[in-house]
Amino acid sequence: MAPYNHTSMISVGILGASGFVGAELLRLCASHPEFEVVYATGDSQAGALASTLYPSLTTAYPNLVFDEYSLDKSLKCDVVFLALPHEASLKIVPQLVNKVRLVVDCSAAFRLKDPTLYPTWYGFDHDQPAELKAAVYGLPELYRQELKTAKLIATPGCYVTAASLALAPLVKASVISTTGVIVDAASGVSGAGRALKSSNSFCAVDEDFTAYGLLDHRHTPEIEQVTGAQVLFTPHLAPMNRGILATCYARPIDASKTSTASLLAVLSRTYAREPFVAVRPASPSTKATLGTNSVHLSARFDQRTGYVIVLSAIDNLTKGAAGGAVQAANVALGIDESFGLTKVGLYP
């Protein structure tokens, strides 16, 4: 596919722009040199100024008003990002694919290649087999070649991004066993979305740390699909706004050939040319990735217990959602992969 024509701005529509992922897409698109947001929906906020709901957007979008969904307006865009509930995306995506230049779905509606998994993990029957087959998984570090010709991108889950980038290179290099892998990951409260729930109110979250989704979190089959490993996944809710720290445990295939240095070497070789992945001996932290599209990785081998440990830190709203979506879109459009994205976090 020929690179996108750069002579004019790429018109962007964001469906579900009033949610946290949608707001993050607006933030990133505002600094993208080739994206121009021309349409942003937020049905529950239709008619409201975006800057009223998100004052942080005031300077970039002083006059942007959240609109109601319109297929006609969507079809006038070059690129459409969907930050909608899964079943809403399942219905809308087929109306857009091959009618606009690119569709980027941030829901899980087109992530799992096996449609029979959806009733168990998401509670609905998948009835769009053609689009499911055509969707390209939006993780450039692992699927860049496929993304270059994508018309529909399925943006990975936030936990999946953190865990898969940590584990996939070691599985591919036959360093770790594909059975008995454990992923413990903690996420900031924004991962639960903007809608107010009793479990994500300030009083419920502050000064607390809790596990949830025990044995049945819906990102489990997605992590297994990307890594090729059997995974026991336990997510945790941390009292912070943004970020994910994933701690992954696995058994080495050959302990006599495994060391901390060898693990770091495999990760370093895999990601040597990746613009947003840093592999370091130091343990990663979520704050170091705040607001960035970066992934910070480290690894250890514990000779005493025989376990491999791989750690991964990301911003759940950026690399884990909107940033990953923009990065994948850049690849599909044939433009600079880093456009609209930053590697430098906010600190302190």
Is residue 310 within 8 Å of residue 237, measured between CB atoms? no
Alpha carbons 298 and 310: distance in angstroms, whole number: 6
Q: What are the CA-CA distances from residue 204 to residues 106, 192, 287, 305 (Å)?
A: 27, 13, 22, 36
| Structure tokens given for 255 | 């302990």
For CA atoms 314, 195, 232, 324, the dihedral sign is: negative
Is residue 138 within 8 Å of residue 155, measured between CB atoms? yes
**Strands lying side by side in the sheet with 102-105:** 35-40, 10-15, 79-82, 102-105, 152-154, 136-137
**Could you identify the residue written with the tokens 């998984």?**
137
| Structure tokens given for 148 | 């270059």
Closest by CA to 277, choosing from 269, 136, 287, is 269
Q: Which are the catalytic amino acids?
A: 158
Alpha carbons 345 and 348: distance in angstroms, whole number: 9
Alpha carbons 15 and 40: distance in angstroms, whole number: 6
Alpha carbons 327 and 32: distance in angstroms, whole number: 11
